[in-house]
Structure 1
């Protein structure tokens, strides 16, 4: 089979969408399929990249280092007209995604779209809550023009179905359990944070931006710090709030962007993962924390609702209940025995989320869409 994958973010950019889409592409290639990747050009890209169409990119406002792709209608039409894919997966709803969807429909190629980002929630997080319903309608228009909308949780699948998204389907997320592992815990790294063996380290990994609700993470840390004054807090990542937050909290460690093994060491060297975001469609970092043996505290939605058993792998609190989030942080700070038990259980809970299994399910879904289109075309063909 030949599949096309269209995305406006791709490694070395660091975000959940880029890493998820890369994992899907690698999984399909490992299963013997040809992948035609379409994405914006990045600094350092070669003039020609095998099996990849590079389009012009433009900076994304409020997201330095990320770009959106130009609507390359002619380039896509030429490429797919010459080598027609059996199915197209569009991971992002930017101009490039809209163009790809239009070309695929014109050529009669089935399209699956991925809903990875809650743009409707972002309106609220950036002070434009009145635009939330408009953003949801825009998302519905985009995704309903495809044959299926892929989401990571049953919760989001039900939510979209109730709001007239035509065909939302669940595709589970995977986590690299070999990379993210408790064995990556690093005593020297902890020492650089001012943390010894008995020091409780609260960690957050992600973009340092308004939509991540980081003021609540800091408030929760200050509360657990009153129980254990020697505790440390580490933020891993970058973003527009890094400078003001670091200036206001000089005792908190801001470790910057980390990748690969360095990211795995940072994850595993924490003791509790504070994840107060309410704007995720999933939250890959929740699984990465669990794989690293670091119990998360998270709101009851997304990855936490799908995979985290409250009190066993970490703590889930009612969505939006800031007081409960803070109380959960204090609870873990006071319970060393429970925290150690959760470290082991959290790791065990993600063992079945293997990338190979997710790639197989993704492959089966795309093949189903391709088969449906072939049947429909055959029924419309003249005798």
Structure 2
């Protein structure tokens, strides 16, 4: 088969109504597939004012908002227009990007119509439960996920560390890597702006610690705040720059009073803010990859991060940053203090991270997904 033979139906719980690394990766993938001549149809909830314009043809799937997290929606129904559109489109590949209700229905449809199914993993949903005191529910979630992935022909994981966890949890046997790239025209050290930093009240000799991402508890805000508190108690000159927004912002602002909150930024403003920092602190353990980590590395920032899935494939401990046990607040503070007192080490680790980021080309990365699609489609055709 050739790329032009492919008709791909992509099901995503969030394609463009909230901006995050996962849906931006999906949009880049669709753009690449379209350039290669494949036909793509995207099925996802549609809102009146999405975070960014969708790439490709988007079909609205009925959905409802999540209680206490109204910015996110759960696809709820596959019958009616979405199903009619799918049957008219007649895909020969189904790609499911989130294990929601409609994705389960799409998998069933694919199996009934002998259409191969590829699932991509973008986050470790089971790890979210600890932030909502629902750890007891984790075995049930794993059972549901295992059933979902076992009905797929292949799985795409964003990092080998995530794939290893999926294998250990017996989620699938056919697992390929779909890593992530970075837009190096947007994210690069040339975006650093010392005047902009000074305008925020940051002295040139102060360590500017960056948080980048959605301001939600599952990003490890409690650990971040505890590490910064220890740094403050040690008398290490520093400031905190929080790039992003979310429902936990009021709580976070109370815990980290020295922080400057930029709100959500995009484009050149986002790149300037990241590049103007000195170190990224990323204590999240819920990431399957960690796009923000790679974006910081592309701006030549060293990264202090949790030893967790995704991150361990990006951060080389002692070379591009420091890896810390997930709840080791003292170790996080130690790493930050070391960087504060040794600017040359910051520069050296940042340069090594930049060298790695320069190898992460989006077209090469997305071609790996295309090859998986061609493989499973050809196998089913035979």
TM superposition score normalised by structure 2: 0.92
Partner of 1:33: 38
CA distance in 2, matches of 1:233, 1:2: 47
Q: CA RMSD in A?
A: 2.0
Please give the secondary structure, in 1, of the residue aligned with 2:156: strand
Aligned ranges 1:1-383 → 2 under 5 Å? 1-44=6-49, 51-167=57-173, 168-225=175-232, 229-375=236-382
CA distance in 2, matches of 1:192, 1:110: 54
Contact 1:223 1:329 in 2 (8 A): no
Count of residue pairs brought into register by the alignment: 373
CA distance in 1, matches of 2:166, 2:348: 36
Any gaps of 5 or more consecutive residues in structure 2? Answer: 1-5
Partner of 1:378: none
Structure 1 pair 172–104 and aligned structure 2 pair: CA distance change class (3 A): same
Contact 2:306 2:325 in 1 (8 A): yes
Contact 2:223 2:327 in 1 (8 A): no
My pick for the range that moved more, 188-197 or 275-284, is 188-197
My pick for the range that moved more, 343-352 or 362-371, is 343-352
My pick for the range that moved more, 99-108 or 332-341, is 99-108
CA distance in 1, matches of 2:56, 2:347: 47
Shift of 1:187: 2.3
Any gaps of 5 or more consecutive residues in structure 1? Answer: 376-383
Shift of 1:326: 2.2
My pick for the range that moved more, 287-296 or 57-66, is 57-66
Deviations 1:75-131 (A, max 9, x none): 343223222112111101112212222222222111111121212111112111111
Please give the secondary structure, in 2, of the residue aligned with 1:123: helix
TM superposition score normalised by structure 1: 0.91
Deviations 1:167-190 (A, max 9, x none): 332222212222111111122331
CA distance in 1, matches of 2:366, 2:138: 33
Structure 1 pair 187–60 and aligned structure 2 pair: CA distance change class (3 A): same
Shift of 1:152: 1.1
Deviations 1:278-302 (A, max 9, x none): 1212211111111111111001223
Contact 1:112 1:149 in 2 (8 A): yes
Contact 1:76 1:103 in 2 (8 A): no
Contact 1:278 1:320 in 2 (8 A): no
Shift of 1:144: 1.2
